[in-house]
Amino acid sequence: MPNSSETPDADLDLASFLAKYTPFQAMAVDELDALAADCTVVDLDASALVADYAAHVPDEVWMVRSGQVSLTASDGSVIDTVGPGGLFGYTPLLTSGSVEFAAHTTMPTTLIRLPGGLVRAQFAKPAGLAFLAASAWTAGSAERPTVAPATDSRPVTDLLHGEVLLVAPETSVRDAVVRMTERGVSYALIRSADGELGIFTDRDLRTRVVAQGLPVDVSIASVMSAPARTITADLTAESVLMEMLECGLRHMPVVTPRGEVIGVLEDADLLAASARQSFVLRRSIGMARTADDLWALGGRVSGIAADLFRSGTKASATSAIVSVVTDSLVRKALQLAVAEQDRPPTDGFAWLLLGSVARREAMPSSDVDSALSWRDDLDPEAGRLRAVAARTHEILDGCGLPGDTNGAVAHHPNFARSQSQWTAAAHGWLDDPLRDRGLILSSLLIDGRVVWGDPALNTVASAYRRMRRDHPNALRLQRLNALADRVRARSLRDVLSRRGGTFDLKSHAVTPIVNLARWGGLAADVTSATTPVRLSAAASAGAILESDATTLADVFVMLQRLRMAHQVDQLSAGHPPGDVITMSELSPLNRSLLGDGLREIAAVQRRVRGSGYVPG
């Protein structure tokens, strides 16, 4: 073990530390003292190998006292990240080494080595049983195939396997855990007398039973999560993955339109190993305690994007996952910035993401556009709030997520206002879109998505949802503005003639589609949404032809794939990612696809320009 030192437990009061965490919370004082007396404390530097369970069968279990340990599979994929109070090494101990992985520190870390014999005896008790049921399920999931990567667009019914575990409300937690272990599943569903569906998972076991000191003989109905969040059978794996990522859920019961349960999806059913890393990274982000901790994690976002895309995940799904992880980084950076300030407001304000991240269309090259809105009674705190915003962006800069270079950041006066100031600005832009850069600023704010605070503070979006009815002239100007972004004739000629030179995929191709979709969404009273969703809404409202909406959506998907492939190649070569491509480096197929796509964009623009659409 490189750069390590071992110390006895005398000065660390290990018994008190162990007593804070499962499965040791239920131990008697004399048992805890005996266990602590046989423990050893080990201090390790960052990136140190703690144990390689492919090489030996352990006779000890490790607990993290401070710092962090990463558990990695033989292929280098991250299985889990263990923080203070977390245990690892118990699964290979109990299974005689049949589970192989390696444990490394990710930062300077203090570990507690616990003797295997004493820990094994503790696992035989009710609290130990509860802990194993909550923690070892993921090992069992490795025995079943990873059915679908994050790119899968099949109905979720194609991914279901095994019988649903449904238990009666009066079933004890002990009996439910035994049945879950026998079935090799990590949940139990409960149907109450009134027909409501509940679910009991490892999270409920940890937080509602073990952490609360409840006996495992309590009824499962008293500690279940209800109502359970469910999905319908017609959804695709990709859409369910996004919902699970955003909600932080690992289980999704699948039901028929009549509410009958036909299966339960788990994250392992949906995710390839590279996609699972995004869950682990979000968990690590949530555990970060300082800006330095967060900076160490931020650099992994582009790596996850590259791994996802190379493993076959579609560019759209990769972008959505990167956006969700970016949300987590932004929230944690904001939390850290608030904690650093002297008496800052902790509520009453909202942080909005703008641009591609807000639309769930982030690329490795994407910067972070943001805005801030606060309740009117917090106007005296405006200076403090802007200081928090400035510090938040400093932290994000260190994570490799720079702020918008044109000033669309939450500490700039144009993007940091009170609720009533935003409302007044929105109505002013609607009345006269050419005043105070109204067209430009409103286009940014229309994309806005609240990632912290009360969504009701996003008053610009509320005002623009009535644009078609109350401000038809402003909507016409939005249309003219969207059509101003023509596909550049010179760029189009260069692509079609296969000439050399460079081409900006974002500015010359993606932006015209995004702007058309934004206007079309406004025509359908839709503000913040993805570009394909806005195009579909525009067709439903009659703003554009349904065939044109489908065509633009297809071209958008193709362009995002070209952008992602180009940026992943740049990252692999050690270059910063960007959107400018060299035409001669495109394959003949991609050059042909790009040329066809640019022609389609130009043709749709001509049809929209000549349609004379009138808001209805």
386-436 pLDDT tens trace: 999 999 999 999 999 999 988 999 999 999 999 999 999 999 999 988 888
Q: How large is the average pLDDT for residues 66-79?
A: 77
- In a 3-state reduction of DSSP, which class is residue 237? helix
Cα gap 589→608, rounded to integer Å: 29
pLDDT digits (tens, 9 = 90+) for 325-355: 899 899 999 999 999 988 777 789 999 999 9
Query: How confident is residue 553, by pLDDT bands cut at 50, 70 and 90?
Result: very high
pLDDT, the chain, mean: 82
Task: Specify which of 71-85, 341-355, 376-390, 499-513 reaches the highest per-range mean pLDDT.
Answer: 376-390
pLDDT at position 120: 78
Cα gap 421→595, rounded to integer Å: 45
Percent of all residues in the chain with a pLDDT value above 70, rounded to a whole number: 83
* Domain 273-463, second-level architecture: 2-Layer Sandwich (3.30)
Written as six digits, the tokens of 113 are 């080595």
Minimal CA–CA distance to 548: which of 506, 511, 485, 601?
601
Cα gap 197→162, rounded to integer Å: 19
User: Does residue 214 carry a pLDDT above 70?
Assistant: yes
pLDDT at position 10: 42
Q: Is the peptide bond before 23 cis (omega within 30 degrees of 0)?
A: yes
H or E segment to which residue 111 belongs = strand 109-115
Query: How confident is residue 143, by pLDDT bands cut at 50, 70 and 90?
Result: very low
Cα gap 403→78, rounded to integer Å: 29
pLDDT digits (tens, 9 = 90+) for 254-286: 888 777 888 887 766 665 444 556 667 777 887
Residue 91 vs residue 165, higher pLDDT: 165
What DSSP character marks residue 486? P
Does the pTM of the predicted model rise above 0.75? no
User: Does residue 61 carry a pLDDT above 60?
Assistant: yes
Looking at domain 4-124, its CATH superfamily turns out to be Jelly Rolls (2.60.120.10)
Q: DSSP string spanning 174-233?
A: HHHHHHHHHHT-SEEEEE-TTS-EEEEEHHHIIIIIITTT--TTSBGGGTSBSSPP-EET
Task: Domain 156-270: state its class.
Answer: alpha beta
